[in-house]
Amino acid sequence: MATMRNARPSGLGSKLPVLVKALAGAVAGATMALSAAVHAAPSTAEVNTTNLAVTDDKVTVGILHSVTGTMAISETGSVQAEKLAIEQINAMGGVLGRQIEYIQEDGASDWPTFAEKSRKLLVNDKVAAVFGCWTSASRKAVLPVFEQYNGMLYYPTFYEGLEQSPNVIYTGQEATQQILAGIDWVVKTKGAKSFYLLGSDYIWPRTSNKIARKHIEKLGLKVVGEDYYPLGHTQFNSIINKFKLKKPDVIFASVVGGSNVAFYKQLKAAGIDMTKEKPLVLTISVTEDEILGIGGENIEGAYASMKYFQSLTNDNNKAFVKAFKERWGDDIVIGDVTQAAYLGPWLWKAAVEKAGSFDIDKVREASPGIELTSAPEGYVKIHPNHHLWSKTRIGNAKTDGQYEIVYETPELIEPDPFPEGYQ
């Protein structure tokens, strides 16, 4: 590491705006007032040896999500969260005395476009970090670009694992962090014995169900069925009949996107009352964002296994929800991925300050061990494998579209993108 001058207990460097006033001085450098920060900040030649878009008072980052196309509805929350975090960081004096500017690009729900735009951000704009991508397909499309041009991507979505790139920090949970604790909980507290696995047909549900099946079978329990439907599928009557025939204790669902609306409505219409928990529905794909489309009354009683729910009552989250609503409107909801996206700029800031440099290699080196005590989900820490330590929580869906949290793991769960015995 080139300089430890700016290193400090990294949690401190990333407090949320509630504490802005108290901590502003500490963040901008122990003695600096905000106005003086620019002049006293370390020189650009020192913090930027690789020709990134860093000047004496500015640093440019990229935001790369779909704001048009089918994924726009899911990704908009992430864009809002990232912008909010950047604005809050700027209000606190920025990073190494530099205000963050962002260049936003639209991936247009189209994977090749993601690749094109990421290349533009890295090669032309020379951004110091990119916050972006949502679907696994878009991440897979940009990954070779980030590795070739040595960029740094903060990827917010819970995903299937099986990946560990030196050029990505995964701020969402990998599959085992979301699934194992959820299944353990439903077995222990609800006495579940049989499971039906259902998902949209692509890599994330398939991998998730593979892990779920292995875990269920390890526990000596039974998987009575496993089915996949194409993305965007809206006819779930046949699978609902199979549920009625096989009578599983738990329906383990990883249906994504618009298909969710059809699935839960048809489930309800077929007379399956989820509040009776026979069968119990456990989903790993429905956040508060999706419930907006599904309608709270259609999914009431289902359980979700996530790391974050808007209804978390810790102080960090209260401040986050308040700031988010002030910035983006009162009727907005915040889902798991939105919160993970919010972590991106803060984790990057902490790593840059620990490294004392914007250089990608130094930020990468500084990243493992970065903690965020101010995270809305509580506390997170970057593992050497570039994923986050985080808790798993179980929420029970209510008619108002929020989850009531019924369980959380006592300890942080270690990220394990290549789980032994689950492949």
Closest to other proteins by CB, 202 or 328: 202
Q: Convert residues 205-224 into a mask of x (bound to other proteins by CB under 8 A) and - (unbound).
A: -xx--x--------------
- What DSSP string describes 176-228? HHHHHHHHHHHHHHH---EEEEEEESSHHHHHHHHHHHHHHHHTT-EEEEEEE
Least Cβ distance, residue 133 to other proteins (angstroms): 12
Least Cβ distance, residue 213 to other proteins (angstroms): 11
Residue of the chain from 120, 193, 325, 327 that contacts other proteins (CB under 8 A): 120
Q: Is residue 202 close enough to count as binding other proteins by CB under 8 A?
A: yes
Q: Is residue 384 close enough to count as binding other proteins by CB under 8 A?
A: no
Q: How far apart are CA 329 and CA 337, in angstroms?
A: 18
Q: How far apart are CA 415 and CA 177, in angstroms?
A: 6
Least Cβ distance, residue 115 to other proteins (angstroms): 6
Which residue stretches of 329-408 are H helix? 336-355, 360-366
Reading the block at residue 91, the tokens are 């209000």
Q: How far apart are CA 295 and CA 169, in angstroms?
A: 33
The beta strand positions in 84-189, using DSSP E, are 99-106, 130-132, 153-155, 168-170
What DSSP designation does 53 have? S
Q: How far apart are CA 47 and CA 351, in angstroms?
A: 13
Q: Is residue 327 close enough to count as binding other proteins by CB under 8 A?
A: no
Residue of the chain from 4, 40, 112, 189 that contacts other proteins (CB under 8 A): 112
Binding to other proteins, residues 228-267 (CB under 8 A): 230-231
Helices 136-149 and 203-218: crossing angle, nearest 10°? 110
Residue of the chain from 38, 73, 203, 292 that contacts other proteins (CB under 8 A): 203
Which pairing describes strands 388-389 and 250-254: parallel, antiparallel, or unpaired? unpaired
Q: How far apart are CA 217 and CA 212, in angstroms?
A: 9
Least Cβ distance, residue 161 to other proteins (angstroms): 10
Q: Is residue 136 close enough to count as binding other proteins by CB under 8 A?
A: yes
Q: Is residue 108 close enough to count as binding other proteins by CB under 8 A?
A: yes
Residue of the chain from 7, 20, 162, 221 that contacts other proteins (CB under 8 A): 162
Q: How far apart are CA 207 and CA 361, in angstroms?
A: 31
Mapped onto helix, strand or coil, the DSSP state of residue 312 is: coil
Least Cβ distance, residue 51 to other proteins (angstroms): 14
What DSSP designation does 174 have? B
Q: Is residue 38 close enough to count as binding other proteins by CB under 8 A?
A: no
Q: Is residue 75 close enough to count as binding other proteins by CB under 8 A?
A: no
Q: Is residue 61 close enough to count as binding other proteins by CB under 8 A?
A: no
Closest to other proteins by CB, 12 or 203: 203
Residue of the chain from 7, 8, 70, 119 that contacts other proteins (CB under 8 A): 119
How many residues sit in the footprint of other proteins (CB under 8 A)?
Answer: 38
Q: Is residue 73 close enough to count as binding other proteins by CB under 8 A?
A: no
Least Cβ distance, residue 231 to other proteins (angstroms): 7
Q: Is residue 111 close enough to count as binding other proteins by CB under 8 A?
A: yes
∠ Cα 9 358 134 (to 5°): 90
Residue of the chain from 3, 55, 148, 241 that contacts other proteins (CB under 8 A): 148
- Residue 178: name the closest of 154, 209, 200 by CA: 209
Q: Residue numbers of the site for other proteins (CB under 8 A)? A: 67-68, 104-106, 108, 110-113, 115-117, 119-120, 123-124, 135-137, 140-141, 143-145, 148, 160, 162, 201-203, 206-207, 210, 230-231, 418, 423
